[in-house]
């Protein structure tokens, strides 16, 4: 992309997202991808500066996305990015009126979180093989990772971002909770149960030292790969999927599935919605309320399967 006024305007906006709004690097990268596509569209119209964009042109971009067959959720995400960009340009005086102010995203059906049963979670944990007498460093690491994701509700980025010192602090005094750094750098404390703590302790004692021996400059990271470097988010994602397949699960499973399951099982057990909101690090309780819908659906299924007059 040429270094014209549009490109500079995008760079300024992305800098604003980082410095003023504190968005995570992955979120900013997603904004960049979506908005670079928008700028390519504007350049195709012969535009090179933010103040050249006219009302109706952002809507033309949306029409182009629909014609390309993009899913409504993807289009809605791009619409939000475009509206944010133009709102910023208007506030900074780069444009007069905001040409995207009336841009309306397509309706997106509410996608309910997928939760595993307790038996399915146990099967994934068992598939890691951390409890076997012959468990090696990778098995111990994977077992600790899965136990932590399900036992604390951590996002995968929060889990792989943990350092050893923080976990040792938890193991020394479990009442302190685990400090997780979430979206936008926000920090929260998550209680961690004995199963996850035992798995973490076994990994730190018998697994991580072996993995660390494979690296030259070992980072302070909790979870290491076989080269002694910090385990990446994508590698952790792949490990969880591999364990689910090994466990014989036919449903789609990701690290976020374990987070969904954590929340749903808490609510099934009677946890207050506001407490679950704090545990998950949700900014709004409206996000957490999705899990109550999962529980209602589960109750309805049980009713239909169990009550003699349900059908």
Residue from 158, 150, 160, 111 nearest 259 by CA? 150
User: What is the per-residue pLDDT for 47?
Assistant: 94
Per-residue pLDDT at 247 exceeds 90: yes
Per-residue pLDDT at 285 exceeds 80: no
User: What is the per-residue pLDDT for 86?
Assistant: 95
User: Mind listing the pLDDT tens digit for each residue in 109-122?
Assistant: 666 567 899 999 99
Sign of the alpha-carbon torsion through 17, 20, 23, 25: positive
User: Mind listing the pLDDT tens digit for each residue in 34-90?
Assistant: 999 999 999 999 999 999 999 899 999 999 999 998 888 889 899 999 999 999 999
CATH architecture of residue range(s) 5-91: Orthogonal Bundle (1.10)
Does residue 256 have an active-site annotation? yes
Per-residue pLDDT at 163 exceeds 80: yes
Q: Around 172, how many Cα atoms within 13 Å sit in the side-chain half-sphere?
A: 6
Does residue 300 have an active-site annotation? no
CA dihedral 117, 121, 127, 130 (to 10 degrees): -150
Does residue 291 have an active-site annotation? yes
Per-residue pLDDT at 2 exceeds 50: no
Which among 37, 77, 183, 246 is annotated as catalytic? 183
Which among 155, 188, 208, 260 is annotated as catalytic? 155
User: Mind listing the pLDDT tens digit for each residue in 14-39?
Assistant: 999 888 887 778 888 999 999 999 99
Helix, strand or coil, per DSSP, at residue 108 = coil
User: What is the per-residue pLDDT for 159?
Assistant: 96
**Higher local confidence (pLDDT), 308 or 43:** 43
User: Mind listing the pLDDT tens digit for each residue in 144-162?
Assistant: 999 999 999 999 999 999 9
User: What is the per-residue pLDDT for 288?
Assistant: 75
User: What is the per-residue pLDDT for 1?
Assistant: 41
Does residue 282 have an active-site annotation? yes
Per-residue pLDDT at 294 exceeds 70: no
User: What is the per-residue pLDDT for 51?
Assistant: 93
Mean of pLDDT over the chain: 88
Q: Are strands 187-190 and 178-181 parallel, antiparallel or unpaired?
A: antiparallel
Tell me the average pLDDT across 193-207: 96
The structural domains of the chain, with segments of one domain joined by +, span 5-91, 118-303
Tell me the average pLDDT across 137-146: 98
User: Mind listing the pLDDT tens digit for each residue in 252-276?
Assistant: 899 999 999 998 898 888 888 888 8
| Residue 205: DSSP 8-state | I
Residue from 46, 41, 113, 129 nearest 258 by CA? 113
**Is the CB of residue 249 less than 8 Å from the CB of residue 124?**
yes
Helix, strand or coil, per DSSP, at residue 190 = strand
Which among 86, 141, 259, 260 is annotated as catalytic? 259
User: What is the per-residue pLDDT for 308?
Assistant: 65
Q: What is the CATH number of domain 118-303?
A: 1.10.443.10
Does residue 155 have an active-site annotation? yes
Q: Same CATH fold, 118-303 and 5-91? A: no
Q: What percent of the chain has pLDDT over 70?
A: 90
Whole-structure pTM value:
0.64
Per-residue pLDDT at 280 exceeds 60: yes
* Angle value at C-alpha 121, between 118 and 122, nearest 5 degrees: 85
């Amino acid at each position: 992309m040429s270094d014209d006024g549009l490109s500079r305007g995008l760079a300024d906006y992305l800098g604003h997202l980082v410095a003023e709004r504190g968005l995570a690097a992955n979120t900013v990268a997603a904004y960049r991808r979506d908005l670079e596509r928008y700028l390519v569209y504007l350049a195709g119209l012969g535009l090179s500066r933010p103040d050249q964009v006219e009302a109706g042109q952002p809507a033309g971009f949306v029409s182009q996305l629909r014609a390309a067959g993009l899913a409504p959720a993807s289009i809605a995400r791009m619409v939000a990015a475009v509206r944010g960009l133009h709102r910023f340009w208007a506030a900074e005086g780069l444009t007069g009126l905001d040409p995207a102010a009336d841009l309306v995203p397509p309706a997106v059906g509410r996608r309910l979180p997928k939760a595993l049963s307790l038996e399915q979670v146990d099967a994934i944990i068992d598939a890691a093989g951390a409890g076997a007498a012959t468990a090696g460093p990778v098995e111990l690491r994977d077992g600790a990772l899965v136990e932590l994701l399900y036992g604390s509700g951590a996002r995968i980025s929060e889990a792989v971002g943990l350092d050893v010192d923080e976990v040792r602090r938890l193991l020394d005094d479990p009442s302190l909770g685990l400090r997780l750094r979430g979206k936008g750098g926000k920090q929260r404390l998550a209680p961690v149960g004995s199963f996850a703590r035992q798995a973490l302790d076994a990994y730190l004692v018998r697994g991580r030292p072996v993995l660390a021996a494979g690296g030259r400059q070992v980072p302070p990271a909790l979870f290491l790969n076989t080269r002694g470097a910090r385990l990446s988010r994508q590698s952790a994602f792949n490990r969880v999927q591999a364990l689910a397949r090994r466990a014989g699960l036919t449903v789609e499973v990701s690290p976020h599935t374990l987070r969904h399951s954590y929340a749903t099982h808490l609510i099934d057990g009677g946890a207050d919605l506001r407490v679950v909101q704090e545990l998950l690090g949700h900014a709004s309780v409206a996000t957490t309320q999705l899990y109550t819908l999962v529980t209602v659906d589960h109750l309805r299924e049980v009713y239909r399967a169990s009550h003699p007059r349900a059908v």
